[in-house]
Amino acid sequence: MQTPRPRYSAAALLRARFSRHFWKPLWNPAKPQDHYDVVIVGAGGHGLSTAYHLARDHGIKRIAIVEKNILGYGNVARNTTIVRSNYLLPENHYFYEDSLRRYEGLSRELNYNVMYSPRGVVDLANSDDEMVALARRGNAMRLAGIDAQLLDRPGLVRFAPELNPYLPRRYPIMGGLVQRRAGTVRHDAVAWGYARAAAALGVDIIERCEVLGLTTQAGVASGVETSLGHIRADRIVFAVAGHTGAIGTMLGIPLPVETHLLQAMVSEPIKPLVGSVLIYMYGHAEVYITQSDRGGLVMGGALDGMPSYTREPAWHRLEEIVQSAVALLPQIAGVKILRHWAGTNDQTMDGSPLIDRLKYDNVFLNGGWCYGGFKAIPASGAACATLVATGTAPDLIRNFRLSRFASGHMIDEKGAGPYPVRQ
């Protein structure tokens, strides 16, 4: 096991200032060993969190994370940083509430500032029918012990003054549902914090190591073939986000997953304007807006609607998101877009995740996160680690089995039927 990392503190920063080695790596590059207790494929948020909890909570000593590219290069770095637990169905809102509570204390747990900002997340309504739907969701949340508050138009404007009711809008805003504990977290800090904590517990983080296939012996998986050679493993976890469907193809298992692109962008810095996270839907259009610490307006919208692995932004989606943002906040019409990117989303047919065994008793899948991947990282890692270490899924993820699609027990949060949907 590696030497535990020193804890960050004011005194440690002062000592480092006068040290000859001011900048130290958060984790040391590792070379693959011949054999591990657990090999995790994917060094994103879910893979790192799973490794951390396997080492910390279950005392597993020999763990490796193998990553095709570099740590944190995938979806954990390609999202809009929103964390929330404002879901309708109990299968989802208990899970995401567990994750939000973990986010609240994650900086202290990891001794790494993940910049959790409980600025509030507001779902806006532009009709009386939408207010009824938000009231139903808020009631379900409160019955589960989750904070939720339904705001009429005057209450909403007091909470978010930027929603000036006198500005011209095509679709009037009637009110909204706010979860005040929800907000944003710095995405790359989550990856770096988990990586630092996992490495301090002895986890090998192996970058630039592509998994090419799975090896088997006597009906169980025995290891993975990689671009750096064969690695034997007692248990294997796949946490590869938008490439979940490709894992099914590699193992010869059709998974109920499609990979879609999700566009996002950030504007040039402006003076403080948006103090919370605003989510606005009208017709088939959608936009969510928050303002970063640097002043840029971070915006995203709905999925592109066609399967793709390209990660290349689409100009027509940029136009749709910007139009929706200006429809919500007409005062930002002259703001310039600074950056534009896309991430791959592994969309399941019911919009809910998959944490389960995959084909072999000692192979596990952590994927199918759709829109919910970043906000789910802390709870996902802890629950997946329990499944891998004990062989038994905790109650929190028991409904996320792959078999639900065969038995018809889908978690249809949006009520959209058997289609790849977002939550």
- pLDDT of the residue at 95: 97
pLDDT of residue 13 exceeding 80: no
Q: Give me the count of residues in the chain.
A: 423
**Model confidence, pTM:** 0.94
Strands 297-307 and 183-184: unpaired
- pLDDT of the residue at 206: 98
pLDDT of residue 4 exceeding 60: no
- pLDDT of the residue at 45: 97
Provide the CA 5 distance to its chain's centre, in angstroms. Answer: 26
Mean of pLDDT over the chain: 92
- pLDDT of the residue at 136: 95
User: To the nearest whole percent, how much of the chain has pLDDT over 90?
Assistant: 76
pLDDT of residue 208 exceeding 90: yes
DSSP 145: T
Alpha carbons 395 and 416: distance in angstroms, whole number: 25
Q: In sequence order, what are the residues at sequence separation of 6 or more whose Cβ sits closer than 8 angstroms to the Cβ of residue 104?
A: 116, 118, 181
Alpha carbons 401 and 419: distance in angstroms, whole number: 18
pLDDT in tens, 297-306: 999 988 887 8
pLDDT in tens, 171-207: 889 999 999 999 999 999 999 999 999 999 999 999 9
Residue with tokens 């570099």: 70
Alpha carbons 141 and 177: distance in angstroms, whole number: 11
CB atoms within 10 A of CB 308: 17
- pLDDT of the residue at 1: 40
Nearest to 133 by CA among 90, 89, 100, 177: 177
pLDDT in tens, 30-67: 999 999 999 999 999 999 999 999 999 999 999 999 99
Residue predicted with more confidence, 277 or 418: 277
Read off the pLDDT band of 19 (50, 70, 90).
confident
pLDDT of residue 276 exceeding 80: yes
Q: Kind and range of the H or E element at 95? A: helix 90-104
Rg (CA), the chain: 22
Alpha carbons 171 and 160: distance in angstroms, whole number: 17
- Asked if 318 and 304 count as a contact pair (C-beta separation under 8 A), the reply is no
Query: And the tokens for 83?
Result: 């964390």
Read off the pLDDT band of 2 (50, 70, 90).
very low
Which one-letter amino acid corresponds to residue 169? R
pLDDT in tens, 63-95: 999 999 999 988 998 889 999 999 999 999 999
- pLDDT of the residue at 303: 85
- Please work out, in degrees rounded to the nearest 5, the angle formed at the alpha carbon of residue 141 by the alpha carbons of 157 and 354: 115
- Asked if 94 and 83 count as a contact pair (C-beta separation under 8 A), the reply is no
Q: Hey, what domains does the chain have and what are their CATH numbers?
A: 31-116+184-256+349-423 (3.50.50.60), 117-183+259-348 (3.30.9.10)
Alpha carbons 50 and 378: distance in angstroms, whole number: 9
pLDDT of residue 225 exceeding 80: yes
User: To the nearest whole percent, how much of the chain has pLDDT over 70?
Assistant: 95
CB atoms within 10 A of CB 41: 25
Q: What is the mean pLDDT of residues 371-385?
A: 96
CB atoms within 10 A of CB 307: 14
pLDDT of residue 314 exceeding 70: yes
pLDDT in tens, 104-154: 999 999 999 999 999 999 999 999 999 999 999 999 999 999 999 999 999
Read off the pLDDT band of 423 (50, 70, 90).
very low
Read off the pLDDT band of 21 (50, 70, 90).
low
Quick one: residue 380, left, alpha or beta (phi over 0 = left, psi -120 to 50 = alpha)? alpha
pLDDT of residue 5 exceeding 70: no
- pLDDT of the residue at 376: 97
pLDDT in tens, 335-377: 999 999 888 999 998 989 999 999 999 999 999 998 889 999 9
Three-state secondary structure call for residue 155: helix
Which one-letter amino acid corresponds to residue 151? L
Nearest to 199 by CA among 187, 209, 207, 211: 207
Q: What is the mean pLDDT of residues 385-401?
A: 97
Phi and psi at residue 100, in whole multiples of 5°? -65, -40
- pLDDT of the residue at 419: 56
DSSP 233: E
> Which of 15-19, 156-160, 336-340 shows the lowest mean pLDDT across its residues?
15-19
- pLDDT of the residue at 288: 95
Alpha carbons 131 and 174: distance in angstroms, whole number: 7
